[in-house]
């Protein structure tokens, strides 16, 4: 049964990481930005979800309201992070790194000051059990996989078919040429960061009911997203999805076959090894200097 459980729970981890990395990779592809505030989108979405659920008496209605609030809060904060931090510092890569890191740290401390540093949980309303590959799992785990796949497919179609999606692709391929064609590159970048934050919000509403709620969770979320993007290739959307499942299965296999204590080291090891051995990742393009 161990193999079957690794297959199922590895798919769950990979599905969540795919949502987080897809948005992160989009932002890097369009603006060449390493957004260290990405984990704070997930963090704020999580607390918006949790506090809305509490406000409505821990009811099923509050659960659904919390899902909506999580997406709204994450998306709006994504826009604000662009307007207040990223846009003013856009010409200075190091300043963006420092600024977005400071923003992520500020949000963590704000949650501690405004609410509580303790760890909480939010039980899912989808508690029925289903059997997959002979393993009985909670329905919510299956929902994570299904909705993550649907979201990734919809985002891919959006990028390839919609007008904004085509603008995003144009800016990511050649910013100056896109601007000469009349595309507002700054606005496209803002929309891309909002999409990235929205996807982090989707990851939050799917994963929070089976994970923990704490002020520090933004940092491991950020580390996992960076590890996936580096593994798959910076700016490569297919690479990010494939890298997400590779990392997801690597962590689950570590949990089951070695020791869960070492699982949190896997993303850091991935970042170090890939940067040393193959800096462009598995599917990234080799830079021409």
Per residue in 253-267, pLDDT tens?
A: 999 999 888 998 999
Compute the mean pLDDT over every residue in the chain, rounded to the nearest whole number: 91
| DSSP-derived secondary structure for the chain | -HHHHHHHHHHHHHHHHHHHHHHHHHHHHHH----TTHHHHHHHHHHHHHHHHHHTTT-HHHHHHHHHHHHHHHHHHHHHHIIIIITTTTT-HHHHHHHHHHHHHHHHHHHHHHT-SS-B----S---EEEETTEEEEHHHHHHHHHHHHHHHHHHHHHHHSHHHHHHHHHHH-HHHHHHTT--HHHHHHHHHHHHHHHHHHHHHHHGGGS-B-GGGHHHHHHHHHHHHHHH-TT-HHHHHHHHHHHHHHHHHIIIII-GGGGGGHHHHHHHHHHHH-TTTTTPPPPP-
Looking at residue 224, its pLDDT comes to 92
> Residue 133's pLDDT band (boundaries 50, 70, 90)?
confident
Looking at residue 32, its pLDDT comes to 87
> Residue 288's pLDDT band (boundaries 50, 70, 90)?
very low
Q: Which residue has the higher pLDDT, 283 or 56?
A: 56
Segment 170-210, tens digit of pLDDT: 998 888 898 988 899 999 999 999 999 999 999 999 999 99
pLDDT at 147 over 70: yes
> Residue 33's pLDDT band (boundaries 50, 70, 90)?
confident
pLDDT at 3 over 50: yes
> Residue 286's pLDDT band (boundaries 50, 70, 90)?
low
Looking at residue 90, its pLDDT comes to 83
> Residue 218's pLDDT band (boundaries 50, 70, 90)?
very high
CATH of 2-277, one of 1.10.20, 1.10.10, 1.10.150, 1.10.3470: 1.10.3470
Segment 49-106, tens digit of pLDDT: 999 999 999 999 999 999 999 999 999 999 999 999 999 998 888 999 999 999 999 9
Domain ranges in the chain? 2-277
pLDDT at 46 over 60: yes
> Residue 285's pLDDT band (boundaries 50, 70, 90)?
low
Looking at residue 1, its pLDDT comes to 66
Q: What percent of the chain has pLDDT over 90?
A: 71
pLDDT at 289 over 60: no
């Amino acid at each position: 049964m161990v193999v079957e459980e690794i297959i199922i729970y590895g798919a769950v981890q990979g599905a969540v990481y795919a949502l987080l990395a897809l948005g992160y990779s989009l932002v890097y592809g369009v603006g060449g930005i390493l957004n260290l505030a990405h984990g704070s989108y997930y963090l704020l979405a999580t607390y918006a979800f949790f506090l809305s659920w509490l406000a409505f008496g821990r009811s099923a209605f509050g659960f659904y309201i919390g899902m909506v609030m999580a997406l709204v809060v994450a998306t709006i904060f994504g826009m604000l992070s662009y307007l207040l931090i990223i846009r003013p510092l856009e010409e200075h890569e190091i300043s963006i790194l420092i600024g977005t890191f400071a923003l992520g740290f500020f949000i963590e401390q704000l949650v501690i000051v405004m609410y509580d540093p303790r760890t909480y949980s939010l039980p899912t309303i989808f508690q029925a059990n289903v059997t997959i590959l002979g393993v009985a799992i909670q329905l919510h785990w299956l929902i994570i996989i299904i909705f993550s796949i649907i979201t990734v497919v919809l985002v891919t179609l959006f990028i390839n078919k919609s007008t904004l999606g085509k603008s995003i692709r144009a800016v990511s391929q050649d910013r100056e040429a896109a601007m000469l064609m009349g595309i507002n590159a700054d606005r496209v970048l803002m929309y891309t960061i909002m999409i990235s934050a929205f996807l982090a919000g989707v990851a939050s509403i799917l994963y929070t009911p089976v994970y923990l709620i704490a002020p520090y969770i933004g940092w491991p979320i950020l580390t996992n997203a960076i590890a996936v993007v580096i593994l798959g290739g910076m700016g490569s959307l297919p690479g990010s999805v494939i890298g997400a499942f590779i990392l997801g299965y690597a962590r689950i296999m570590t949990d089951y076959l070695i020791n869960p204590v070492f699982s949190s080291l896997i993303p850091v090891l991935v970042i170090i090894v890939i940067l040393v051995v193959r800096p462009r990742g598995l599917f990234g393009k080799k830079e021409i200097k």
